[in-house]
């Protein structure tokens, strides 16, 4: 996509005309990419959390905060799922197409976007269920290890692994 955008910019500079549709495709791919990356970011513990107090708290409040964080994300995911369904359903019933010369049926990028949001919601539900089972089985340590705020040492170790290409 980057090469196509660069070619479009160069073509526009040389001829005064653009290819048409490159920006539209880039926007669709951006939205789809974000929705699909939400679940990956959750499992990588990369979503933003305020951790100033977290590391100073005793173990049980940290577990509670981890569960509350997952529940909060699930509420966001549920809202996104509902909203994306409304958009998709409207486009489907109206037979909506993009306003560009490409005339892309909007249900195609919207369905891919919604599917990414659904994967995010399913990941959260799965993680919550597994966390409840872990807590009920006396393995609450696993919840903090999987979903807690990473320590500076864990972040440094992950950065080293990434720099070596082994993460």
pLDDT by residue (tens digit) across 35-54?
999 999 998 888 877 778 88
Is the CA virtual torsion 99, 102, 103, 109 positive or negative? negative
Q: Whole-angstrom Cα distance, residue 94 to residue 92?
A: 6
What is residue 1's predicted lDDT score, i.e. its pLDDT? Answer: 67
Instruction: Name the range with the highest mean pLDDT among 16-20, 83-87, 98-102.
Output: 83-87
Is the distance from CB of 107 to CB of 91 less than 8 angstroms?
A: yes
With cut-offs at 50, 70 and 90, classify the pLDDT of residue 24. Answer: confident
Is the distance from CB of 120 to CB of 42 less than 8 angstroms?
A: yes
Mean pLDDT over 143-156 rounds to: 85
What tokens does 99 get? 């306003």
CA dist list (Å): 142 to 87, 116, 127? 38, 26, 11
With cut-offs at 50, 70 and 90, classify the pLDDT of residue 100. Answer: confident
With cut-offs at 50, 70 and 90, classify the pLDDT of residue 127. Answer: very high
| pLDDT beyond 90 at 102 | no
Q: Whole-angstrom Cα distance, residue 58 to residue 64?
A: 11
Higher-pLDDT residue of 79 and 23 is 79
> For the whole model, what pTM was predicted?
0.82
Is the distance from CB of 127 to CB of 39 less than 8 angstroms?
A: no
Q: Which residues contact 120 (CB under 8 A, 6 or more apart)?
A: 35, 38, 39, 42, 77, 80
């Amino acid at each position: 996509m980057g090469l196509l955008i660069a070619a479009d910019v160069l073509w526009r500079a040389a001829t005064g005309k653009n290819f048409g549709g490159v920006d539209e495709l880039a926007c669709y791919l951006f939205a789809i990419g974000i929705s699909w990356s939400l679940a990956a970011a959750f499992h990588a513990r990369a979503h933003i959390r305020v951790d100033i107090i977290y590391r100073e708290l005793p173990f049980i409040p940290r577990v509670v905060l981890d569960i509350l964080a997952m529940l909060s994300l699930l509420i966001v995911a549920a809202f996104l799922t509902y909203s994306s369904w409304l958009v998709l359903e409207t486009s489907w019933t109206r037979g909506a197409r993009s306003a560009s010369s490409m005339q892309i049926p909007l249900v195609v990028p919207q369905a891919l976007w919604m599917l990414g949001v659904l994967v995010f919601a399913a990941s959260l539900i799965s993680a919550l269920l597994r966390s409840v089972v872990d807590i009920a089985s006396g393995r609450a340590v696993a919840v903090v290890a999987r979903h807690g705020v990473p320590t500076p040492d864990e972040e440094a170790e992950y950065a080293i692994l990434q720099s070596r290409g082994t993460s």
